[in-house]
Amino acid sequence: MDKLTKEQRRKNMQAVKATGSKIETALAKELWALGHRYRKNDHTVYGKPDLTMKRYKLAIFVDSEFWHGKDWEKRKQDHKTNQDFWFKKIERNIQRDKEVNDFLLKYGWKILRFWGQDITKNLRSCTDKISEVIDEIKRENKH
């Protein structure tokens, strides 16, 4: 049984953003402050990464734990209602993430995926990782 009424659940689900979430915005602003330039949700890149740096062929995804199934095998039983729907939905999202990764890797892209909580709790380590990858790409391109 859902703890919320149908109207409350509807309002909650309507508030979920596909782009421009707080965690995505926090990461983007920090990268901009560090001098890294990017495009947000670039439709020309397969999988529409949250942030792209075409110059480096770097795709950055900000994945929420709920929608992208963090620790899915342990957490899937947390869904008490409408399990058929949620299991299919989240497992398809996980599969799509793998397909996007495989496609981009095949075409020479580097991919970084961050969980929302990683960004929220330690934004600096996420931006440091991105900077490291950019520096690594720059070194590779010199040779």
- CATH code, domain carrying 35: 3.40.960.10
Beta carbons within 8 Å of 56's beta carbon, 6+ residues apart: 110, 133, 134, 137, 138
Position 60 pLDDT exceeds 60? yes
Task: Tell me whether residue 75 is in a domain.
Answer: yes
The model's pLDDT over 41-51, given as tens digits with 9 standing for 90+, comes to 999 999 999 99
Judge whether 13 lies within some domain. no
Type of residue at 138: K
Please check whether residue 14 lies inside any domain of the structure.
no
Q: Identify the domain containing residue 63 by its residue range.
A: 21-142
Diameter over CA atoms, the chain: 60
- Answer whether 44's CB lies under 8 Å from 137's CB: no
- The token pair at 36 is 């890294």
In a domain, 11, yes or no: no
Contact 52, 24 (CB under 8 A): no
Residue 15 in any domain: the answer is no
Q: What is the pLDDT of residues 69-97, one digit of tens each?
A: 777 776 766 666 667 787 788 889 999 99
Q: Is residue 107 part of a domain?
A: yes
Predicted pLDDT at 33? 97
* Tally of domains in the chain: 1
Name the pLDDT band for 27 (thresholds 50, 70, 90).
very high
Look at residue 88 in the predicted model and tell me its pLDDT: 86
